[in-house]
Amino acid sequence: MLSGKLFFDYSIPKTLLIKLSGDWRISAGLLSVDEVTSQLIIHPDTAQINLSVSQDLKWDSGLLSFLFKLIRESGRKNIPVACGGLPQEAQRLLALALKAHGANTLSVAASKRDGGGVPDPLNPARKPREPFLERSGGKALQISESLAAGLNFLGDIAVSFLRLITGKSYFRPEDFMLIVQRCGVDTLLLVSLISLLVGMILAFVGSIQLKMFGAQIFISDIVGIAMVRVLSAVMTGIIMSGRIGASFAAELGMMQANEEIDALRTLGISPVEFLVIPRVLALVMMMPVLTIYADLMGVLGGFIISVGMLNLNGIEYLNHTQAAVKLSYVWVGLIHSLVFGVIIAVAGCLRGIECERNAAGVGTATTSAVVTGITGIVIATAVITFICQILGV
Amino acid sequence: MDPTTQPVIEVRDLDLGYNDYIVMRGLSFSVNKGDIFMVMGVNGCGKSTLLKSLIGLRAPAKGKVLYNGKSFWDEDETGQQNIMRRFGVLYQGGALWSSLTVGENVALPLQLYTKLSSRQIQEVVALKLSLVGLEGYEDSFPSGISGGMRKRASLARAIALDPDIIFFDEPSAGLDPINARKLDDLILELRDGLGATVVVITHELASIFAIGNNSVFLDAESKTMIATGPPNVLLANSNEQRVIQFLTRGADLPVNNGHIG
């Protein structure tokens, strides 16, 4: 519903008088400048535009944005617009907007001249969309750069770890213990719930097939082997990635944004030694412990379903589990968990340290930490499984 | 103070930039012992980028920064750290480590670089905190104190090791006029008490004239420094219109044009 009205008057030769009336407020909608430009096409000899307003005119930025566009359009055609007929306040605001517009146009032109096409990082202009090949090439380069950054970071961690072992680095035990608590005790409930349920689900799914052969007792084998070899570690890894990896990234990201990491650097403290090493160590230490715990909870889940719903004998179930699960399977599970611990902690800390210095950057870093963590976990699982297959473990 | 001695900081033909983009070029100035040196300029002119190159956080695109004759960016990592250890930096937002208490923040540099016992460290921390008027706040966390107090706590951390040079990044930003004035007084007292050299990145005119005894003006338009010298002298003698405009808060701009640039 547009209630702003335009009247065109050509009573003076070569001059277009535009009379504005009605409601020109934003709430009433914005009128397009096209009507005026088509008038200029019909009357190509127009050399001057005058504006006048009626008594009943209601206006706010709606009118101003129309006039701002009109003045710029007619400026392009070298037709001056006389604003003398507008309300005083509107004239002042328009003059202000046009002054800033003029200055910006000039400075954009100047920066293009000075910078030779190099974008100003403090005032980035919207870039035109690059062609598909260029974009995919850029993405590929980005991936290789981020891999290189990851490897660099791992190298830094290794060096800092060596310094820690040789007693040359600064280590705060109280910080470390707090992180251990967060990675360990504080996640116990979540790990219990998820592993118990995964054990139960496995038992249920297994029972559907095994029942047909009257071989329900082998549910214990399925649950035991699957949980101990890989599932406990993977489930714990995913939980920790979402909970701990994300929190590492958010913490370090906020510290980056608040210049806390700069403050460490200027004091000669390596952020990797001070912030990353305790986090990586704590998580790598807690992951195997949590995985063993998740193994037990998974077996318990299978036990509950088998004994409670499928009427298997409890002692028999446990004996069967014990026979099926070899010690080597436990080691395989523990190796998974150690590798996952490193992946999650490194991904979280790296994303946090790389974080841009704003709130959106912290959000992106957190998301990216979880995505990197989980992707890393899946890839590592595939690699370890493949290696175990070759080694015959 | 002997004016013939070597400058504490000497900046030679410094270019600053991000990747290929140059923010400032051709900076050359020196800071003498005991100076309160003001780095002035409008928003976005590159003051903070200069600070980063001075305190060792970002390598300049070109040029040298000399500390007592040693070129910082030509030193190896150990050499750089030895120089940095003599700095105290007060960041704009304080940058206190949020997981540590105020006391632990001030204590950390002492734990790292001195052989004091934890009890002695507590005593030094208490002294530093009382110097900035925060005695008794040892056990507060940074999130539990006001912005002005965070800044003072951060100053206590910056002076923990009795630095030779203290850098201030926009010290009055976010402070009310009274607290800004108190911070200026504190800067003067610490300079005199510690015998330190002070570099202040600021655009706060009141501070510039109250405490600055030397300065450099970075110009955003020409992307270089266009004046250096004591602020009062610049105000009286400078021929550069933009320096005068800055130092007089744009007194020659048309009044009431309402435009904020």
CB B154 within 8 A of CB B91: yes
Confidence of residue A126 (pLDDT cuts 50, 70, 90): low
Lowest mean pLDDT among A99-113, A260-274, A377-391: A99-113
> Tell me, what's the pLDDT at B261?
41
> What ipTM, to 2 d.p.?
0.84
Q: What is the mean pLDDT of residues B233-256?
A: 84
Residues of A in contact with B108 (CB under 8 A): 267, 269
- Decide: helix, strand or coil at residue B216: strand
% of chain A beyond a pLDDT of 90: 57
Count of C-beta atoms within a 10 Å radius of residue B113: 14
Residues, chain B: 261
Given a cut of 70, whether residue A293 has pLDDT beyond it is yes
| pLDDT tens-digit readout, B147-181 | 889 999 999 999 999 999 999 999 988 888 888 88
CB contact under 8 A, B258 and A263: no
% of chain B beyond a pLDDT of 90: 51
Q: For A119, which residue in chain B has the nearest alpha carbon? A: B21
Domain borders along chain B are: 9-247
Q: How many CA atoms lie within 13 A of A376 on its CB side?
A: 27
> Tell me, what's the pLDDT at A127?
61
- Window A:99-118, CB contacts with B under 8 Å: 99-100, 103, 114-115, 118
Given a cut of 50, whether residue A183 has pLDDT beyond it is yes
CA–CA distance, A215 with A383 (Å, rounded to integer): 32
CB contact under 8 A, B84 and A267: yes
Higher-confidence residue: B251 or A66? A66
Given a cut of 70, whether residue A108 has pLDDT beyond it is no
Interchain contact A175–B (C-beta under 8 A): yes
Confidence of residue A111 (pLDDT cuts 50, 70, 90): very low
CA–CA distance, A263 with B88 (Å, rounded to integer): 9
The residue among B67, B75, B108 with the most chain A CBs within 10 A of its CB, best to mutate, is: B108
A–B: how many Cβ contacts below 8 A?
Answer: 66
CB contact under 8 A, B20 and A118: yes
CA–CA distance, A217 with A316 (Å, rounded to integer): 8
CB contact under 8 A, B112 and A265: no
- Decide: helix, strand or coil at residue B242: helix
Confidence of residue B103 (pLDDT cuts 50, 70, 90): very high
> Tell me, what's the pLDDT at A61?
87
CB B200 within 8 A of CB B38: yes
CA nearest A169: which of A282, A283, A268?
A: A268
> Tell me, what's the pLDDT at A304?
96
Given a cut of 70, whether residue B66 has pLDDT beyond it is yes
User: Which amino acid is present at B129?
Assistant: L
User: Which amino acid is present at A129?
Assistant: R
* B9-247 is a CATH 3.20.20.70 domain: no
> Tell me, what's the pLDDT at B158?
93
- Please give, rounded to a whole number of angstroms, the shortest distance from the CA of A98 to a CA of chain B: 11
What domains does chain A contain, in order, with CATH numbers? 4-115 (3.30.750.24), 148-391 (no CATH)
Helices in chain A by DSSP H: which ranges?
34-42, 61-76, 88-115, 132-165, 173-183, 188-212, 219-226, 232-240, 246-257, 260-266, 271, 277-308, 314-324, 327-353, 359-391
> Tell me, what's the pLDDT at A312?
92
Question: Distance of CA B190 to CAs A17, B94, B198, B208, B230, Å?
Answer: 69, 17, 9, 17, 20
